[in-house]
Amino acid sequence: MDSTNVAYRHHQHLEKCLTPLLANFRFHQQDNDKKHTSRQCKGYLTKKESDGVLHQMTWPPQSPDLNPIEMVWDKLDPRVKEKQPTRTQHMWEPLQDCWKSIPGEAG
């Protein structure tokens, strides 16, 4: 999938899912992945911030140590690949199994 399509899908996801969540949470943080920094997504989030709907947290680039989910993905990725799912649709069950196998608060 090309980066333009991925950015578009991420923007659609923001519009569909983020806005309802903002009733309870006002802060929004995301990493500096290309889909997150697309003009379309940045414009959407900046508009929401100027409307007083959310506050965007600034996040340094290349800072996985500050983002706990990156540590979880570091554990999940090799475990899911070990199960060798052949298609994207077949990844859900191994992903859930691997998630449950992570000890402590992450699991």
Is the pTM above the cut of 0.75? Answer: no
Task: Give the Cα separation of 71 and 104 in Å (integer).
Answer: 13
| Cβ density class 94-104: b for 16+ within 10 Å, e for less | bbeebeeeeee
DSSP H or E run through 41? helix 39-50
pLDDT attached to residue 64: 66
Around Cβ 60, how many Cβ atoms within 10 Å?
8
| pLDDT (tens digit per residue) in 66-104 | 777 777 888 888 888 888 888 877 888 888 888 888 776
Q: How far apart are the C-alpha atoms of 69 and 53, rounded to whole Å?
A: 24
**Lowest-confidence pick of 25-39, 47-61, 85-99:** 25-39
CB 4, CB 12: distance < 8 Å: no
Residue of 107 and 21 predicted with greater confidence: 21
- Give the pLDDT score at 107: 42
